[in-house]
Amino acid sequence: MAASIIASGAVANEMDVDIFVTFWGLTKTMKSGNPEPDLSFDGQKMKQQVFALMKQKNIPDWISMLKNAKEVGNIKVYGCAMFADLLSIKKEDLDPIVDDIIGVNEFVSMSKNSMTMFI
C-alpha cells in the first residue's frame, strides 16, 4: 500500500517510478488469487479496523491505486527474479501490472541515479 501511495504522489509530480516487488509482495501480484491486502506483522491487531475504514472512506486497495497511477504516469513494476525462481513463478503467472521479472542487480543498476526507497 505504501508503495502505491508514494507512486501516486510521484506521478502527480511528473516523476518516473520503478518498483521492485519481492517476497510476499510478489505473490500478491499473481493472477491466480485475489491480491488481498495485508498489513505488516505490527499492524495485524488493527487489520480488520483499518480495512473497514478504507472501505468506508472509499480508499482503493493497493493494486487498484497502483493501476490507476500507471494510467496517469510512467510507472514500471518489476518482479524479483530470485524469488520468482524460488517459487517457480513466471511472468505469465502475474497480473499485467508487473512489467517484467528482473534481477536485483539490474534493478539497482537502473536506480543508481534516482531516489530509492525501501518500504
For residues 101 and 25, give the distance between their C-alpha atoms in angstroms, rounded to a whole number: 13
Q: Grid coordinates standing for 26?
A: 510478489
Is 3.40.1260.10 the CATH number for 2-35+42-110?
A: yes
Q: What share of the chain is helix, strand, coil (3-state, %, to 5)?
A: 50, 15, 35
| Predicted confidence band of residue 27 (pLDDT cuts 50, 70, 90) | confident
18 strand-pairing partners: 76
Q: Grid coordinates standing for 52?
A: 473497514
> Percentage of the chain surpassing pLDDT 70?
90
Angle (CA) 51-24-8 rounded to 5° is 55
pTM equals: 0.86
| Predicted confidence band of residue 42 (pLDDT cuts 50, 70, 90) | low
State the chain's mean pLDDT as an integer: 88
How much is the average pLDDT of 18-38? 80
> 93: which DSSP letter?
G
When computed from its CA atoms, the radius of gyration of the chain, rounded to whole angstroms, is 15
E strand residue ranges, 66-116:
75-80, 100-102
How much is the average pLDDT of 4-12? 93
pLDDT at 96 over 90: yes
Task: Tell me the backbone φ, ψ of residue 37, rounded to 5 degrees.
Answer: -70, 160
pLDDT at 48: 82
Listed residue (4, 118, 26, 24) closest to 71, CA to CA = 4
CA torsion sign for 63, 67, 73, 74 is: positive
According to the per-residue pLDDT averaged within each range, which of 34-38, 100-104, 108-112 is highest? 100-104
